[in-house]
Amino acid sequence: MGAASEFLINKLALDKGKIKYNRNFKYKIYPFFTREPERAQFTNGFTPILGAISRDSLELKIDYSSKDYNIENIYNNVEAVSDLSEKDKINFLDKVFGYTNIHAINHPYLVNYYPLSNGSEKTGEINIAQYISSMFNLRENSKWCKFIGDKKAKNLVEKILLESIDGIPKVKNKNPFKFILNDELKYKKEDLNYLLDHKEFALKNIDKFFAFYYFQYITQSILNLNNINNLKYGTHLYPLYFTLETEKLTSSRKTNINGYNQITSLRNFTLINDNLLGYLNDLINIINNDEKFYTLTEILNLPPNQSAQLNNELKIVLNYYRKVNMKNDELSDKLITNIEIFKKWLSEDINKETISRYHLSVEDIGRYMFLKNRGSLGKTLTLKKEMLILLTAIIVKEEKMLIKDVFLEFEKRGVYFDRYTREEIALFYEKMNILDKKSDSGDVKYVKSVL
């Protein structure tokens, strides 16, 4: 028995004769939880997450709540308010500057003060925030840090608040998130930078922007990670068909064939594939004496000697597992086959309620912003008008674009439309007065800039 197999056998308690599916991995690929209380359910929308994203990127205390929000200096700095008593003055100032209203003061620096939700849900909010911050590498994005760190006031209300509010302590927050996708959603940084060029539009839409890319990343990761054989050749974008919320659908539409049903069909494998990758990393880290995060693509393309060593260590673990849980599958000389066997056994043996709870995080963000229940058709991927406008704005930018090219740009961001939805979108653009027809027949159509 090698050191790697011994470690994983101990971690899974296989040497004790009863398996414990301990996770405690060095890295995380999803901001999901197997327990209910910590899961972010968007009780207070995306605002608490946006505040945590901002704080994480500026390396401020990320666990910031309403209890930390202190504006006592405002009470002292504002000498009097009309004919109000001191008590009424404080009540008035609380209504204007209190944390429940801070998002109404449209200033980028104040995003840092958006507090987390009270209770256990804040743990999930922090995890999603760090996932997004890492996804965009926001700490290294000077444009974002300048935008969110700008304290310049444009009116008296902002000036009073920015000069009086207690600062947030500097903290180096450890970010555990790693990603299996490569360049499939490579336009995200370009999209963010364009959005930040339009301050008012950005402040109004930045929550939807981050929510969009968060949803795209987790769904595409789930789809990719489930296809082990394909991962040897890398990750790719899976077509997911969206519709508009106002559309009427039939069962033959593409969104019912290549839509959210693809994600739903994998709900029992989200946790399984995460655990599988984590356990393989446990082995390869010890074999290579490193702390690097290895994607399945990297694992399946290891040099022959490392691949053989990993396979040998994995087979030792699986032989223990087979005896404890009385499995009949024959192990293989091929690493990829043994990985598939390990996945199969995990899916058979991990508690079904635990598996179900872990995937609920996908349902939560979907229900909040991207899914519509269509009765007998089930849940379908849906773009609300506000999201359609936002994505159109960051795609078209300043110069008008052929509508067919606009749809191609949507696809580069993981959003596919069938011909019926494209027709609905064209009608919507026409109502917005941003559709420019360049021929009598209307065959040549351009989409004008939204901003």
Strand pairing partners for 28? 177
Distance CA 187, CA 445 (A): 24
User: What confidence score (pLDDT) does residue 264 get?
Assistant: 96
* Residues of the chain where predicted confidence (pLDDT) is lower than 50: none
Q: Is 334 exposed, middle or buried (0-12, 13-18, 19+ CB in 10 A)?
A: exposed
| Span 153-202, pLDDT tens digits | 988 888 888 888 889 999 988 999 999 999 999 999 999 999 999 999 99
434 neighbors 441 (Cβ within 8 angstroms): no
Residue 435 in 3-state DSSP? strand
User: What confidence score (pLDDT) does residue 357 get?
Assistant: 96
User: What confidence score (pLDDT) does residue 370 get?
Assistant: 98
Tokens of 80: 């009097």
Distance CA 10, CA 14 (A): 6
| Span 132-161, pLDDT tens digits | 999 999 999 999 999 999 999 988 888 888
User: What confidence score (pLDDT) does residue 160 get?
Assistant: 84
User: What confidence score (pLDDT) does residue 156 get?
Assistant: 86
User: What confidence score (pLDDT) does residue 368 get?
Assistant: 96
User: What confidence score (pLDDT) does residue 93 get?
Assistant: 76
User: What confidence score (pLDDT) does residue 442 get?
Assistant: 62
User: What confidence score (pLDDT) does residue 142 get?
Assistant: 97
| CA nearest neighbour of 116 among 57, 166, 172, 43 | 43
| Span 87-120, pLDDT tens digits | 777 777 777 787 777 878 889 999 999 999 999 9
| CA nearest neighbour of 286 among 1, 3, 21 | 3
User: What confidence score (pLDDT) does residue 82 get?
Assistant: 66
| Span 208-236, pLDDT tens digits | 999 999 999 999 999 999 999 999 999 99
User: What confidence score (pLDDT) does residue 439 get?
Assistant: 66
User: What confidence score (pLDDT) does residue 76 get?
Assistant: 74
DSSP 275-315: HHHHHHHHHHHHHHT------HHHHHT--HHHHHHHHHHHH
Tokens of 53: 């994203």
| CA nearest neighbour of 415 among 180, 191, 145 | 191
